[in-house]
Copies of this chain bind each other. A is one copy, B any other.
Amino acid sequence: MHKTILRNPGPTPVPGQVQQAMNHGMISHRGGEFKTLFKETANRLKPLFGTEQDVFIITGSGTSALETAIANTIFPGDEVVVVTVGDFGDRFAAICETYGAVVHKLEIKWGKACTEEELTECLKRFNHIKAVIATYNETSTGVLNPVEQLAKAVHTHSDALFIVDGVSCIGGVDAKMDEWGIDILVTGSQKALMLPPGLAFVSVSEKAWKIIENNQAPAYYLDLLSYRKSYEKHMTPNTPAVSLIYGLQEVCRLIEEEGFDQTVKRHEIMKKMVRQAIRALGLPLLTNDEDASPTVTAISEPADLSIEKLRTHLKQTYHIDFAGGQGKLKGKIMRFGHMGYCFPGDVLEAVSLIECGLKDLNHQFEYGAGVKAAQEVYLEYV
């Protein structure tokens, strides 16, 4: 017997209380009990999105929410700018292409965020951009884009929609959809929201609704107009993953109990703990401090160690599950997830085990330095 320690950037650990809430006996999704559950839950997502708009619940993975954003707003021939800083930016671009958009990719070196200036320069080159699309938190590289600044660039230099993939950060970082001017913000259940995968969330600005109301692209399951219509009746258009919505209700309660400001602060603390620890161990970080994500940290390969060997060794020996790289970083980085139901103690455990793994592989480093560095960061905040 062993306990798996899930430290990848999603799915993330599910709290026992949420697991228990999901065990609720099955109910009809068209009855009064469901409507009460829905009413008590959907509204509570608004602070996490920073919006007064409704947040729609789709049964599907995060990708279904990305597709929802595109299928409802982009028609063949529309020009879009996709800011891509990693694999998930590329995925968003691929979805746009699937819907016949003319895609202008603003490709940033993997490991770096996109700046307001870079986006401004890009937007100046085009006249008829229907939407600018960006990733808030790039899971593949551990980069948090400055979406507030990117929104400023979009609205200063175009009248495009600003569509944001918040899959691997919403619920763990601050988001101010209305204030910043995000037109569509989407996320998934299995990251900072502490649920199993299976739900996706979408919120839409007034400006985006005007385009969606004239949508012609084929979409049935992902048709936002049907979600809006059902929402008014406290339901979803198709059968939702009822158990996960029971879990979501408990997730909202847990975040409210901690206080969302504190949740955000905890993620900031864990980010710093991980980064200081990795530095103290002499391992390179893919991303600089300014661009670094509060939910996932990418550790690069040092000259004298196979990072993939370390990762598989940690999994096999200590049952701790970090993610490898994806896309063009496959085999070249190890990703350390620290979001959702993850606390400073979990970071200390994970860093300790990384130290054990490094020692097993006869890697030269200062034993104990990683844990000590993480502890020091933590103690500043206690």
A interface residue numbers (CB < 8 A to B) = 3-4, 6, 8, 10-14, 19, 22-23, 25-31, 33, 59-64, 67, 71, 94-95, 98-100, 188, 190, 196-198, 217-223, 237-244, 315, 321, 323
Contact = CB atoms under 8 A, between A and B. Distances in A.
Contacts of A315: 31
A28 B196 CA distance: 10
A12 B63 CA distance: 28
Contact of A220 (B29, B63, B220, B238): B63
A25 B250 CA distance: 17
Contacts of A100: 218
Nearest to A326: B30
Given A6-B25, A197-B240, A244-B241, A323 B30 contact: yes
Contacts of A221: 60-61, 63-64, 67, 222
**Interface residue SS majority, chain A:** loop
Contact of A67 (B94, B99, B220): B220
Contacts of A239: 10-11, 61-63, 188, 190, 197
A226 B34 CA distance: 34
Contact of A196 (B6, B26, B33, B217): B26
A218 B222 CA distance: 12
A238 B61 contact: yes
Contact of A321 (B31, B63, B223, B240): B31
Contact of A59 (B6, B60, B222, B323): B60
Contact of A28 (B26, B198, B323): B323
A239 B187 CA distance: 13
A99 B218 contact: yes
Contact of A11 (B27, B62, B94, B98): B27
A218 B218 CA distance: 8
A19 B99 CA distance: 39
Nearest to A100: B218
Nearest to A10: B239
Contacts of A198: 59, 198, 240-241, 243-244
Given A6-B28, A61-B238, A197-B239, 11 more contacts: A6-B26, A8-B31, A11-B239, A14-B25, A22-B22, A26-B196, A59-B61, A61-B221, A61-B239, A64-B238, A241-B241
11 contacts: A4-B33, A26-B196, A29-B197, A30-B323, A31-B321, A99-B218, A190-B239, A190-B242, A196-B241, A198-B241, A243-B243
B62 A59 contact: no
Contacts of A14: 25-26, 243
Nearest to A94: B220
A8 B28 contact: yes
Contacts of A64: 59-60, 221, 238
A217 B196 CA distance: 31
Nearest to A217: B218
Nearest to A58: B60
